């Protein structure tokens, strides 16, 4: 049965000059997203001084999980500026799986450290917006992993939904998880620990950094999966 929805390539209808300019801008944006995520992770790691306390490992593990592994796990499918552009689609999927396993591993480790830290200091759990958002992010990350399993093993699981629909749901859920993780990271900048560590213009710079990779990821996913209506002549 013919469908009135198609998934059109981005940039269709542009002139050659405009197309190359657009492609160059996309490449620059993806590369900047890699660099931004790395800078943010290194900065937070330096501020937390890992090893000085149980809590000090929490920001390190969480930024590595969601700012590095999750970002790279999405951007590796980009044709612009990905270090895995030489790999086949199947190879990229395998690296994507590895990145998501590392996300869950690092996040679970970070969760363990913050739970242990609060237990030792006898502080109550889940009393801030950051902790509540973080719990939701972890829960949806697990749900996203289930979607990923259903996409990879849809034949073995005998699912009634077609693979294209499962991929769309997986990408949509992944975008929501990434945006939720971004909000969680930003909320950490309003914690007493971070505001005591960073003040002035640097705080504002770090506050804005997570939004840039989020915009790049959102642009990549929506361009790849956003349905476009066919133009009738």
> What's the pTM?
0.84
Tokens encoding 73:
């796990």
* The pLDDT of residue 224: 79
CA atoms within a 13 Å half-sphere pointing along the CA-CB vector of 91: 6
b/e per residue 181-220 (b: at least 16 CB within 10 A):
bbbbbbbbbeeeebeebbeeeeeeebeebbebbbebbebb
Pick out the chain residues at pLDDT < 50.
1-14, 16, 228-233
* The pLDDT of residue 229: 45
* The pLDDT of residue 89: 78
* The pLDDT of residue 147: 84
* The pLDDT of residue 77: 85
37-213 CATH? 1.20.120.1770
Tokens encoding 125:
């759990």
Note the pLDDT tens digit of each residue in 124-161. 888 899 999 999 999 999 989 888 888 888 888 888 88
């Amino acid at each position: 049965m013919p469908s009135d929805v198609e998934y059109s390539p981005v940039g269709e209808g542009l002139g050659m000059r405009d197309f190359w300019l657009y492609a160059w801008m996309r490449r620059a944006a993806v590369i900047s997203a890699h660099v931004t995520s790395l800078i943010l992770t290194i900065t937070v790691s330096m501020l937390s001084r890992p090893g000085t306390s149980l809590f000090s490992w929490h920001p390190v593990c969480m930024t590595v999980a969601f700012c590095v592994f999750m970002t790279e796990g999405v951007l590796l499918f980009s044709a612009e500026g990905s270090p895995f552009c030489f790999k086949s689609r199947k190879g990229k999927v395998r690296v994507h799986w590895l990145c998501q396993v590392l996300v869950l591993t690092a996040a679970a480790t970070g969760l363990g450290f913050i739970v242990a830290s609060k237990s030792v200091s006898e502080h109550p759990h889940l009393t801030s917006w950051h902790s509540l958002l973080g719990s939701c992010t972890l829960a949806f990350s697990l749900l996203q992993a289930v979607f990923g399993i259903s996409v990879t093993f849809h034949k073995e699981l005998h699912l009634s939904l077609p693979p294209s629909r499962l991929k769309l749901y997986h990408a949509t859920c992944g975008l929501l998880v990434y945006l939720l993780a971004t909000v969680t990271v930003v909320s950490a900048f309003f914690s007493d620990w971070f505001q005591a560590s960073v003040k002035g213009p640097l705080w504002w710079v770090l506050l804005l950094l997570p939004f840039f990779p989020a915009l790049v990821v959102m642009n990549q996913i929506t361009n790849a999966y956003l349905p476009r209506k066919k133009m009738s002549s």
